[in-house]
Chain A
Amino acid sequence: MLIETHQLTRRFGPRVALRPIDFALAPGEVVALVGPNGSGKSTFLKMLAGFLRPSDGRVSVFGVDPMRARVDVMRRARFSFAPPPLYDRLTGREHLRHLARGVSREEIDRALDRVGLGARADDRVRAYSFGMRQRLALAQALLPRPELLVLDEPTDGLDPLAILELRDVLRSLHRDHGVAILLATHLITEVDALVDRLVLLHEGAVLFDGTPDGLRDRPQLRIVADRLDVAAEALGGRLVDGAVVLEAGALDLETVRARLAAAGARLHAFGEVRASLEEALLARLRAERTHAR
């Protein structure tokens, strides 16, 4: 395993930022760490980078404790944190030249072109937009090519085209070079197609760890009728966003029609739907919050 944590916990004073977390990332795997702001994603990444000490439990990256052997970890891993910390008075090219020592000029130029900063490489960073800073942070994380790439909110501030390009870059790193990638994001739709596994964090605890398909609920039967409350009672379903929802295949069309007619309601729409990943994610978070109350 490239990353392994066992009961990893972090407290800041009385506040628990991370509840005991067991996590593993295998070579070549692409995993998204998803959760709302303040869910503990960045804290988790900083513990992987050896910037923060665990309060309890243990963490190992490439088999070593990153707090004790950070240099060994950083020889093989690249981290990019959000928002991207950069030196405003230095140019993009100067950042890469000094941060990625030993990398040839040609490679630096290629990395800058790859993130679309070739034409602005000699401008000072203070003249960059947030999206450009994000691209530069990505470029520095690509040099030299790591075995493990850890990106914190990499799509923040990027326009749709840049997000597509980012996906292409990451896909190519993964496909062509077997780079393992850990992405922390609160916008799952932007990396949905890229990841093998999702880890959903909420208030420092893991709510879900599995494939994106596993997070989506099974297909649902969605019925729209007038007098929805009556219809929900007649069909034995739940009212969700202006529709009665049942498990897919629970009732056929004729049965629904007959029950609604008997209850004095009229059917408008009948069909099976599958929740998007984002909807599934939000549903999990809402359910967790309701449960917590």
Chain B
Amino acid sequence: MIGFEWLKLRRSNRPWIALATTAFFLALMLVGFYTYAQRETGGAADFRYTYENESYFNGLTFALYAFYYGFLLVLPIFAATEGGVQIAGETASRTIHLGLARPWSRGAIFRAKCVVAFAHSAWLAVFLLALSLAAGLLLVGWGDLRLYPGVLQLTESQQFLPQREALVRFGYVAIASVLPLATTVAFALWLSTWTRSAVNAVGVAVALYLVMFVISEIHFFRDLQPYLYTHYVAYWRELLQERIDWSRVALDATRLFAFGAGFLWLAFRRFRLREDP
């Protein structure tokens, strides 16, 4: 059944639209990063193909910024889309009846859809990070990773990671970033079981994600933050500290997992009990 879901996903335009949009986003980031660096250094920043860039504005910084913004603002849209269309889309087109008219349990149908939606989102996260690194290292230049406290909240104190260590940490980030996206997929899947329109499911999922993300990022609302899963989606930032606080990583990952499992349970319960006229 997973093969069937995978075939349906491959034949849809969604993966290609997601990849093309991600690549376009990176191209914009590259231009934006270049012009910003030029302005900040008074035109002294020097970008060439594959050379060692001693400045703060090197390929690793670019990769991190590109991934950070892409992960928080671009990938959730595609994760929500994938979760949203899986059930609502098939309900709207009534193709859900094809599966339900076969000796397949609702559990098996739901599981196959989850696996494919999770895999698609994970693949997008890895793609974004790999392309960010490739673009950064090839077009901006290599060097060590330096982080400073700032509005992005990437670190609370100055950090330094040698290039080799930074690349290993990006590997950790790639793995860790799958969990927040899976939680967004689960959230969208839950909404998807309530609506009979894919557009509504995706629209509501994206809108709610953005609302929760904005609320959870504003310090003023810190009492609400523990109740919003979006507060934990960038938990992988900890993996880029000189000394990783693994207990904090594990705690945030556990919280995200709990949110994701809760959304999935609600989604499956609704899918199992609902009618399909």
Contacts and interface: CB of A to CB of B under 8 A. Distances in A.
B4 to A, nearest CB: 4
B97 A51 contact: yes
Nearest to A89: B11
B8 interface: yes
B95 A87 contact: yes
Interface string A57-92: 000000000000011101100111100011101100
A85 B89 CA distance: 12
A94 interface: yes
Interface in B60-112: 93-98, 100-105
A86 B101 contact: no
A171 interface: no
B7 A99 contact: no
Contacts of B276: 46, 51-52
Nearest to A46: B277
A98 interface: yes
A133 interface: no
A81 B105 CA distance: 19
Contacts of B12: 89
A49 interface: yes
Contacts of A94: 7
A81 B97 contact: yes
B95 A86 contact: yes
Nearest to B12: A89
A228 B103 CA distance: 62
B159 to A, nearest CB: 47
B42 interface: no
Contacts of A79: 97, 101
Interface string B253-277: 0000000000000000000000111
Tell me which of B4, B104, B105 has the highest count of chain A C-beta atoms within 10 A of its own C-beta.
B4
B11 A71 contact: no
B91 to A, nearest CB: 10
Contacts, number: 60
A53 B4 CA distance: 28
Interface size class of A (residues with CB under 8 A): 20 to 34
Contacts of B3: 98
A51 B100 contact: yes
Given A52-B275, A85-B95, A90 B7 contact: yes
Contacts of A81: 94, 97, 101
A134 B96 CA distance: 17
B101 A98 contact: no
A144 to B, nearest CB: 10
A148 B25 CA distance: 54
A71 B97 contact: no
Contacts of B102: 74, 99
A85 B11 contact: no
A98 B94 contact: no
Nearest to A124: B11
B4 A85 contact: no
Given A51-B97, A85-B98, A90-B11, A71 B105 contact: yes
A228 B90 CA distance: 59
Contacts of A51: 97, 100, 275-277
Contacts of B11: 87, 89-90
Contacts of A90: 7-8, 11
Nearest to A90: B11
Given A70-B100, A71-B105, A74-B103, A85 B94 contact: yes
A80 B100 CA distance: 11
Contacts of A85: 93-98
B3 to A, nearest CB: 7
Nearest to A83: B94
Closest 4 CB pairs of A and B: A89-B11, A85-B94, A98-B4, A74-B103
Interface of B: 3-4, 7-8, 11-12, 93-98, 100-105, 275-277
Given A74-B104, A90-B11, 20 more contacts: A49-B100, A50-B100, A51-B275, A51-B276, A51-B277, A71-B104, A74-B102, A78-B101, A79-B97, A80-B101, A81-B101, A85-B94, A85-B95, A86-B95, A90-B7, A94-B7, A98-B3, A99-B98, A99-B102, A140-B98
13 contacts: A49-B97, A51-B100, A52-B275, A52-B277, A53-B275, A72-B103, A74-B103, A85-B93, A85-B94, A85-B95, A85-B96, A86-B98, A87-B98
